Amino acid sequence: MSFFKEYINDDLTNNYVMIMNDPTREYHKSYEIDFDRHRYDGKNWTYINLPVDEIKEMAIKSIKDSTMMYFSCDVAKFLNSDRGLLDIRNYDYESLMGTTFGMNKKQRVQSFASGSSHAMTLMAVDLNQNGKPKKWMVENSWGATNGYQGHLIMTDEWFNEYMFRLVIDKKYVPTKVVDILKQKPIRLPAWDPMFADEE
């Protein structure tokens, strides 16, 4: 507690909001996952579902203010561990297997082909001259010998397809988005596809 008070001294209960990009659900709504609970208070996880571009805007604000975020994604998809690169062009599975894989993000989640599987720390973004993201960097927990010195770099296209959740300080979230938490959350079952593979 003394370490927390000296170096963090933040209201972890009220100052943060969980943001999801779950294309299987209606956006700009609040959801609650049954039995997926915070350890400190026993309450179910509650999140706001938003389009990915809105999530990016908040993440960029946080990073520009030197504030990293809890981040979860489907880390195994198109991962090159040696290079520490997450890129949908890393592997040409379609040519190799002589077929096409036409499912979009929503269909992959609904069929349990993709979902939030691993949490890391979102810490950096590379922006083009128009302020739009080109690539992102996360700090991983697999050790310094894995990936790029313990980090993974993802293209923005990969972010769109396989990023699912951020926990972000409310000061980077527009008031109209925070106000969504005033809604009664829509309750989802513990076996919901988005959370079935949680690590």
Q: Which CATH number characterizes residue 28's domain?
A: 3.90.70.10
Buried b (16+ CB within 10 A) or exposed e, 50-70: bebebbbebbbbbbeeeeebe
pTM: predicted TM-score of the whole model, two decimal places: 0.86
For the chain, the domain total comes to 1
**Rounded mean pLDDT, 163-173:** 95
pLDDT over 90 (residue 135): yes
Exposed/middle/buried for residue 48 (C-beta within 10 Å: 0-12, 13-18, 19+): buried
pLDDT over 80 (residue 31): yes
CA pair distance 146, 144, nearest whole angstrom: 5
Listing DSSP states for the chain in one string gives -HHHHHHT---TTTSEEEEE--TTS-SSEEEEEEEEE-TTT-PEEEEEE--HHHHHHHHHHHHHTT--EEEEE-TTTTEETTTTEE-TTS--HHHHHTS-----HHHHHHTTSS---EEEEEEEEEE-TTS-EEEEEEE-SS-TTSTBTTEEEEEHHHHHHHEEEEEEEGGGS-HHHHGGGGSPPEEE-TT-GGGTT--
pLDDT over 70 (residue 199): no
Cα 129 to the center of its chain, rounded Å: 25
The per-residue pLDDT of the chain, averaged, comes to: 88
**Rounded mean pLDDT, 63-75:** 94
Question: Domain of 53?
Answer: 2-195
pLDDT at res. 100: 86
